Chain A
């Protein structure tokens, strides 16, 4: 029961950010209805979400955008002083009609995400020009329709998105490596090859706050169904640091998160284990080094 509660406690932040899957969200809401601690934390953290929205670098919107927005209300902006003190009463807002005209030729073959903007801008300009302010309120609906059509085209962009994700992962990796290497508590561990692989060697940079950067050379190729597992060796038992698979040349360069709570290890080692890893080392030791 305590286990489940701890698991749920980790959901508070994700819940506030809307980052839970529907199933998890339902489970969490059911839990929170009876758990005052989690409910209090959700309330506590909800402010952070509101604040994050204000953390974006502030950029002035283009001037023309104001006119586009004001077209929604069928006007170009607040009346200036030169208009005189007499103010006509504001016209009542027209009811929102059903969309009764076909979207203006939006069937052009889109080339990608970027083409949404010009299309919407064109739609908005058309609407403003014709003076059909009432239809401006439909821009969102049209945008939705347009987006649906674009969805197909967007599939083609999937490769690009994947590339972007790869680049970001590399970037995150580089930043994290830097964080490990420059951490005040970083220690360097030299691991020497053992009988199973005399020419193998490895080097680890470990910071309990920032993570583990592990590099190795000359690790023998892995037999099918096996993997190398890195260990923090210390009391009361070795703790897994992660799994690695060397490249064709036997090299490894990987970043791992430090376990949240662990006694300071006395050594690091790499063993060969069944693919998927094990809870405690079982296989031959390939490299080992003292902290």
Chain B
């Protein structure tokens, strides 16, 4: 939390896209207990939420469970949603990733499960949602291309961290790579992807 207080200067959010305002209005109605609003939110975001859960869990019934959990949580927490924490779409995707990885990790049932659980809590309690608006199709295309053009080990390391919730030590072990190499590669990969986004977000 401290960190985000440090990095987020005042007035850093100039652009507020329209769908973001619509989402916030929808959440406001959900907070009043309006079920139609939940349906609207579902219709707008279920595809992205389901697709991410499916990508992480590789199992449709499990991904469906996650979708249900995420929208149930949105319903319960609509009143507490703080617009300053970022776009609703990004918030939903963040919840999706945390829950899906949570499930992935408990399914892995590693011997070091205690450590894993602590790490999961961290992921879920992370104080901030990355403030990203949903991208247009052509922007997604640009990022996909950038992702494809990364050296294979950079891309795989990044995917293991993001989609599998592995720590860098676990990634290093899985890829038989030195720890320092994995750290550097993930940072480089993210810097390159960030470049590909220049102007988009």
Residues of chain A having any CB pair with chain B under 8 Å: 9-14, 16-22, 25, 29, 32-33, 39-40, 42-62, 65-66, 68-70, 72-75, 77-79, 90-93, 96, 113-114, 116-118, 120-121, 124, 136-137, 139-140, 143, 147, 150-151, 154-155, 157-158, 161, 165, 168-169, 172, 175-176, 179, 209-211, 257, 260
Contact = CB atoms under 8 A, between A and B. Distances in A.
Interface residues of B, number: 101
Given A12-B187, A57-B55, A117-B61, A73 B38 contact: yes
Contacts of B86: 50
A227 to B, nearest CB: 15
Contacts of A66: 39, 42-43, 46
B152 A175 contact: yes
A61 B64 contact: yes
Given A18-B126, A172-B175, 20 more contacts: A12-B187, A14-B187, A17-B158, A20-B122, A29-B3, A40-B7, A44-B194, A51-B143, A51-B201, A52-B158, A58-B47, A69-B67, A72-B75, A78-B39, A118-B61, A143-B65, A151-B106, A155-B109, A209-B151, A257-B177
22 contacts: A16-B130, A18-B123, A22-B119, A32-B3, A50-B129, A52-B162, A53-B90, A53-B94, A53-B97, A65-B64, A72-B71, A90-B34, A91-B33, A137-B75, A137-B76, A140-B73, A143-B65, A154-B107, A158-B108, A176-B152, A210-B152, A260-B184
Interface in B42-85: 42-43, 46-48, 50-52, 54-56, 59-65, 67-69, 71-73, 75-76
A91 B93 CA distance: 28
Contacts of A74: 35
A73 B36 CA distance: 9
B23 interface: no
